[in-house]
Each structure stands twice: as C-alpha cells, then as structure tokens.
C-alpha cells in the first residue's frame, strides 16, 4: 500500500526568499528587516536595468536612434526607483519606533511588501516585452509606454509605503473594507498649488504676494514644493507636500542648532518630530534663471500644527518655520 509523503515540518514563506529579512514583529529588528527588503527589491530592479542596457546596445547596433531616447528615459526612471529604495531614511518613524503599533498593522505592512515584491517581478516582464520587440525588429513604443507607466506606478507605491511608515499608519489600499468606501480624490485646487509658476499671484493668510522663486525637492522618494511669496514688505514661503494635509506658510529662521542630527525639536512647548531627512535633489527657479538636480541635505520636522524645513546647499543653510494651513486660506491668480 502506498502512503502519501509526509507533510513538511515547516512551510516556506515569502520572507524566506529575502536574505536577512525576519519580519517586523520585534521592534528592534524592524529597521534591519526593512533594509533587507529594500536591498532585495533594489537588486531585482538593478538586474532589470541591466536588461534595459542590453536593449540600448541592440538599438545602437541596429542604428535605431529614434527608440534610444525613450529607452534611456525608462532607464532613468529605474535609477530613480532604485535610489529611492536604497537611500530611504525614516528618522522618527511611527511603524518602526512606536511601542503602540499592533500586530494587524505589521501584518498589513508585510502583505503590502509581499505585493510590492510581486509588482517588481511583474515589472521585469514589461522589460522583457521591450527586449523581445527590439530583438524582433518591431516598434517597441507600446511596450515602452507600458513599462514607463508601470514604473511610475511602482514609484508611487514605494512613496506611499514611506509615508505610511513615517506616519505609523497602513496604506489605505491594504484595508479590505476600502471597496466599501468612496475613493479620496485630490482636489484640483491642491494640484494647482503644486504647479505654481513664477509671477503667479497668490493671496495667502490675507497677504497679497507674487511667486518670486520656486523649489521642487525630492527626498527619499517624496516630492515637496516651496514657493517664495513676495509682497514687497514681507517674504514668506508656501510649503506644499504630497497630500492636501501637507500645506504650510513658513518664515525664514536663523540656523540655531544642527537640525540634520536632531530627532525632534521643541519650540514654545510644541514638539516637532523628524519625518524625513537625508540627501535629496532640488530644482530651483528664480529671477536669474534655473538650476536642476542640485544636491542638498534636507530635514523635515512637523507636529500637529507646525512645520520646520531645513536645507543645506554647499555652505548655505536655510531654515523655514511656520504653521500648517488649509486650501481655503489660499487663493491663486495665475499670470
């Protein structure tokens, strides 16, 4: 009589495929597990990027220079995604530092990461579709458009993961009950703030001003915008983050302490905690011209009511401090 084989004593799990990853259950191991996961995903993406480099070589050999530009743009997006994964720095991070985080939240983050791993693998399939089109001598345009779109979506997922870890929450798409709720839609007024241009007129907190300079900073995969509002008598900065909850009017402050080493700052009894810090890239536009991809050290602190932004470019350090505001307090008059 034949008997079925014995059941395995342990069932392999997704985490077994990631060197150094032991999950998030123990607080002291969460940062180590996070780094192991990010390096695992970055290594997969680097292999896919090398495949794109092969595609570029094939196009050069075939003299197909028209398709070379889109492939290079796709490769640039890959590098941004890889850099975002490798350089993430959470500072004071709710999901990693708080004792109050419960097991369901950590389980949800685990499931989110498992889905993220599967999406990285799926992205490799999109790279192979581009490779196959080039080998066959057909137009890779459609495959490249899909690859670019999927890469952008994956970067957005990584950014949402970063925001969830920093805030100590779970990305909303992980909730099974999400299908019962209306999807949040970003208000057009908020998107218009992110697209402010030089010489646009703004009324903010009763101040009539003109946008005299703008910055767009990318730090650990999150993008922030800062607009210098000049009323003639006073200069303030409008700070705009990735969501409608990230909106503040800031005033210049003298650099008093080394904010790039602090985990929190207490001002007039209000404690602002570090939510993002590291080396980022800044695009600058002002009356004298534009600069792109300027390296900068940046630190962002916030409380329930205040925002503190510090950036250092070369030898110059700028510190801005102010209060959170809302869309209703700001009016735009594009030029």
User: What separation in angstroms does the CA of 163 have from each of 88, 217, 248?
Assistant: 11, 16, 18
What is the pLDDT at residue 177? 44
Among 111, 129, 107, 155, smallest CA distance to 48 is for: 129
Count of all residues that appear for the chain in the document: 335
The domain spans of the chain are 14-177, 188-333
Two structure tokens written together for 35: 């780094």
Range scoring the smallest mean pLDDT among 13-27, 176-190, 221-235, 321-335: 176-190
CA 134, distance to chain mean position in Å, is 32
Distance spanning both ends of the chain, measured CA to CA = 86
What is the pLDDT at residue 94? 64
pLDDT tens sequence across 110-148: 878 888 888 898 888 889 988 888 888 888 888 888 888
Two structure tokens written together for 16: 């077994």
Where would I find the H helices in the chain? 30-62, 68-87, 94-97, 103-135, 141-167, 188-194
Task: Count CA within 13 A, CB hemisphere, residue 268.
Answer: 5
Two structure tokens written together for 37: 């996961």
Q: Are strands 306-313 and 235-240 parallel, antiparallel or unpaired?
A: unpaired
């Amino acid at each position: 009589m034949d008997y079925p084989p014995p059941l395995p004593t342990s069932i392999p799990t997704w985490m077994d495929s990631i060197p150094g990853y032991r999950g998030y259950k123990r607080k002291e191991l969460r940062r180590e597990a996070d780094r192991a996961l990010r390096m695992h995903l970055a290594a997969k993406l680097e292999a896919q990027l090398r495949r794109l480099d092969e595609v570029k070589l094939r196009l050069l050999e075939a003299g197909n220079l028209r398709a070379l530009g889109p492939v290079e743009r796709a490769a640039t997006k890959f590098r941004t995604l890889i850099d975002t994964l490798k350089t993430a720095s959470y500072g004071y991070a709710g999901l990693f530092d708080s004792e109050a985080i419960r097991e369901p939240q950590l389980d949800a983050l685990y499931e989110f990461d498992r889905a993220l791993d599967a999406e990285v693998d799926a992205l490799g399939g999109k790279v192979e579709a581009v490779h196959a089109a080039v080998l066959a001598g057909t137009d890779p345009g459609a495959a490249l458009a899909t690859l670019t779109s999927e890469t952008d979506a994956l970067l957005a997922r990584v950014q949402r993961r970063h925001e969830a870890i920093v805030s100590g929450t779970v990305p909303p798409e992980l909730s099974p009950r999400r299908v019962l709720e209306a999807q949040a839609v970003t208000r057009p007024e908020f998107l218009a703030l992110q697209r402010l241009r030089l010489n646009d007129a703004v009324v903010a907190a009763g101040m009539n001003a003109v946008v005299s300079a703008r910055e767009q900073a990318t730090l650990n995969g999150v993008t922030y915008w800062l607009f210098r509002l000049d009323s003639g008598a006073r200069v303030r900065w409008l700070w705009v983050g990735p969501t409608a909850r990230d909106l503040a009017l800031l005033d210049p402050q003298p650099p008093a302490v080394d904010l790039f080493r602090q985990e929190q700052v207490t001002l007039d009894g209000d404690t602002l905690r570090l939510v993002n810090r590291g080396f980022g890239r800044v695009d600058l536009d002002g009356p004298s011209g534009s600069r792109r991809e300027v390296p900068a050290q940046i630190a962002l602190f916030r409380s329930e009511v205040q925002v503190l932004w510090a950036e250092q470019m070369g030898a110059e350090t700028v510190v801005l401090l102010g209060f959170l505001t809302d869309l209703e307090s700001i009016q735009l008059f594009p030029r």
